[in-house]
Structure 1
């Protein structure tokens, strides 16, 4: 397979593998992984019908407002790896030789890493090389001829790979811009942000903001959106600054202001987030959108901006104000948009209203909104995660698990539903089942920090200290001050008798998360074990602040007794027995 992205763009190699195997693979297997195969090999659409679809698949581009998360491609790679592993288990081992990996798109680099990690050498051997026979140089006129030939063939792969390349090196800048525009739009819809950024940055010097302002702005906006998703916020903001200098369009200025505000509030580095600047920018967007003359355009764009300001208000600690803004956006859409217009925009507003209702202690209102959102778009997996989390919070464990399992089915594999189901399994005492789910979540994404933290804590509780330490250290390499990872590391250090190191880890965890119950409880155990019962009482008391817990009450009672405070110890044991009447340890200590 040749991985050179100048052939078929993102997944040039992945698409070639899919095209070679899908026609002979078991039909049920092809159907099960339809999203992954269609994304990697878009020219297979005639062979691979779409089974799992969301509302966005049926809408015009202008109404498909959701931008795929950067980890979308990891989901696709994991799904394709599962397809390939099962196919090879049925048909026999293969060797995959991939050339020109130095010219591959990041999607193919990620895919090859996933294939190596998730498919054993007994089924698949991956061999990569960096050089095949070099291309013969073409004249600009020959590039034109080749682009014309490829356009007549009409494949999507060429449209996002070879055609932009040949048009860029041909004689007609206008055709080059049009080729780039088509490729950028397709790749942005697919979530291939690296390709969007590369293609867009190559296209913009060729585009004319005065002669073709709409095309130029769409290229710039798409490119900046991709750059922001790739944590290249400074480059994205520089493009929006360019738009402000080049354009006098109110819509362009409103959109650039909104997008700049979102860059400031969402910056991947928390130290560089600037909520005041974000508020100023998004208010500018609101001010401009309020003046748009067309009521339908105003309802959509102003609603979008109000929703953006709601995010800023949440980060500023005012969810009530955020809810007012989202409600205003909902009412604008209901009043001024046609009933069938911008359905995804409406669903996003309702889903955000649900999250704000949860923050404000109104879970039933949130559940009503999430039920409506899922009923309208049952093929979008992320909403099931939101509703599952709410159902878990409401104590409806079986319904929550059902939502997590639906999320597993309706889209390519991702770690969150397994991680969330593991939390429920742990809460009902199925620790081994929880570990299986966490193992799978981390097989899907070894850098999933929340999964590393939970698995480290669970492994420590199960006495598997070497594995727990490995997870904690792997997670801390990614997030050095993550309090949950520090707490898990402290538990390992304590179990292995490294009390000074354990205390340091617990102290650091509590610096980052002063209300982290597990860290207070663990530090209390450390104090008790090292002969400081009064310190243990203090820490257990902090751990009990969220509410009474029989295990914590029992531990505090033991510390109180060791500190000579027998009556208080008896009171704690009595309360613990009320909460856990079948606990023999509590009952025995009450008789001492």
Structure 2
């Protein structure tokens, strides 16, 4: 295989990925068109030059919409999905024993750095050995004007190449006329990408720069909304300032209410009310959030056939709120309506599948999770959710396979370690369970779920002091974690502390009244001679 120059100045995101695909695709198409078709999404995203040779099986509605109606920004994790899909394509397509050499790695785009990491992690070196060089020839200067940069930024936003959006967006801001329409489009996309990447301070500074540069009401409304979302959507709840978010979103609503164009007003006002609904939800007021989403949907009806993606998002948000409030039939109807607008969008299959699972509708949940898998590159969340379904159906081997694949796709997926460790412990595969618990605790020291599993394993091994320390720490961190109380109760029974066992099991039953907890408490009560209480628990265990 030839040496690939990974400098992002050559072709931008997936400079390496596109070169690799273009090298392997001809021989792949000769051997198996099905292999290329199975990875159409990631091949077409990474290597636009071969799109005519790999037709899309599932294509969303956004590419055919006007720019102002394309409102979705893919999450940063989308590039990890693409990288995993590309790795699976390469692993199958490349003849064994090949070497991939990449120079200028220090100048590679984030997408290629991530891809190379996944290739080295998931493809055995006897199939493909990856050799990286930091040095290499310089890239030619980027002499694109503001208009050409905008075309690139617009494409990168649609694909979710957010690091490149920031880099080129900042370059475009320097070239465009401050306050003009093109300058504003660069600013909006760049600030949004910065926020999605967790670069909150830079995003906030850019929104403030927008306010100081523009006098257009619609721009100020959008800047207020964008600033509000930095707090409302912050992934760390401790860093959210929902009061500040409410202030900014109220300002956005106040300005949008005054916009003269009726269609622009209906769209922006509905968009802003949907943002306020998120604030209400995170402040524990789902009914108020639902009323806001309802009002946004009423405004969306004024838009006719325009803004279908906006309508899809509102329907899905209403479905989520209706489901949380117990209006299940209406929630399922809204999810169906949202999915009908863009059947290739995977997220709402996951959400509807979760609702189906909660209702005990296992076949419907399975169908939704597997459809999400079909319309997306490898999607860890879909396999994780299917594992939860399989655990509920006592399909332990299948659940373990799904959780293993989740961890292969994303070694930082903490919940997969938690669930797999618990499942392995329940199967008495203690060594494997301990490995998962320790791997998870390396990612999240002090995680109470993993500490509870670790305490269970220490109890089985007879290391009672270590088990007690793990349970105590879990309970201190998460006092509502019933499993920690229950297993500490079992430990205390095993060490002769019968009163302590009854106390812990009582607390576990208060949190989660499960039959096995009543049965365990009955044993401790009988050992204490409290026979009538034990009989009551034994009856409860049979219900």
Answer yes or no: same fold by TM over 0.5. yes
TM-score, normalised by the number of residues in structure 2: 0.95
Q: Which runs of 5+ in 2 are unaligned?
A: none
TM-score, normalised by the number of residues in structure 1: 0.87
Shift of 1:527: 2.2
Q: 2:172 aligns with which of 203, 221, 227?
A: 203
What does residue 230 of structure 1 align with?
Answer: 197
Q: Is the 8 A contact 2:515 2:540 kept in 1?
A: yes
* Cα distance between partner residues in 2 of 1:488 and 1:265: 33
* Cα distance between partner residues in 2 of 1:342 and 1:87: 40
Q: 1:266 aligns with which of 233, 238, 242?
A: 233
SS of equivalent to 1:264? helix
Q: 1:41 aligns with which of 37, 44, 47?
A: 47
1:16 aligns with 2:9: no
Aligned length: 537
Q: Is the 8 A contact 1:23 1:47 kept in 2?
A: no
* Cα distance between partner residues in 1 of 2:518 and 2:252: 53
Note the 1:120-519 alignment, pairs <5 A.
120-134=124-138, 165-167=141-143, 176-210=145-179, 213-334=180-301, 336-338=302-304, 340-519=305-484
* Cα distance between partner residues in 2 of 1:395 and 1:569: 32
* Cα distance between partner residues in 1 of 2:383 and 2:375: 14
Between stretches 484-493 and 12-21, larger displacement belongs to 484-493
Shift of 1:407: 1.1
What does residue 523 of structure 2 align with?
Answer: 558
1:571 aligns with 2:540: no
Q: Is the 8 A contact 2:79 2:160 kept in 1?
A: yes
What does residue 492 of structure 2 align with?
Answer: 527
Shift of 1:134: 4.6
Q: Is the 8 A contact 1:452 1:472 kept in 2?
A: yes
Q: Is the 8 A contact 1:483 1:510 kept in 2?
A: yes
Shift of 1:120: 1.3
* Cα distance between partner residues in 2 of 1:322 and 1:504: 42
What does residue 83 of structure 1 align with?
Answer: 89
* Cα distance between partner residues in 2 of 1:442 and 1:535: 38
Q: Is the 8 A contact 1:258 1:281 kept in 2?
A: yes
What does residue 31 of structure 1 align with?
Answer: 37
Shift of 1:471: 2.4
* Cα distance between partner residues in 2 of 1:61 and 1:478: 40
The CA deviation string for residues 530-560 of structure 1, in whole angstroms up to 9 with x for no partner, is 2222222222223223554221111111121
Shift of 1:21: 1.1
SS of equivalent to 1:166? coil
* Cα distance between partner residues in 2 of 1:330 and 1:4: 46
* Cα distance between partner residues in 2 of 1:508 and 1:56: 48
What does residue 104 of structure 1 align with?
Answer: 108
Shift of 1:481: 4.3
Q: 1:421 to 1:295 in 2, by over 3 A?
A: same
Between stretches 223-232 and 489-498, larger displacement belongs to 489-498
Q: 1:105 to 1:361 in 2, by over 3 A?
A: same
Q: 1:483 to 1:290 in 2, by over 3 A?
A: farther
Q: 1:398 to 1:325 in 2, by over 3 A?
A: same
Shift of 1:478: 3.0
Q: 1:73 to 1:507 in 2, by over 3 A?
A: same
The CA deviation string for residues 236-281 of structure 1, in whole angstroms up to 9 with x for no partner, is 0000011111111111111111111110122233322101001111
Shift of 1:67: 0.8
Q: Which runs of 5+ in 1 are unaligned?
A: 136-161, 168-174, 580-592
Q: RMSD of the alignment, in Å?
A: 1.7
What does residue 156 of structure 1 align with?
Answer: none
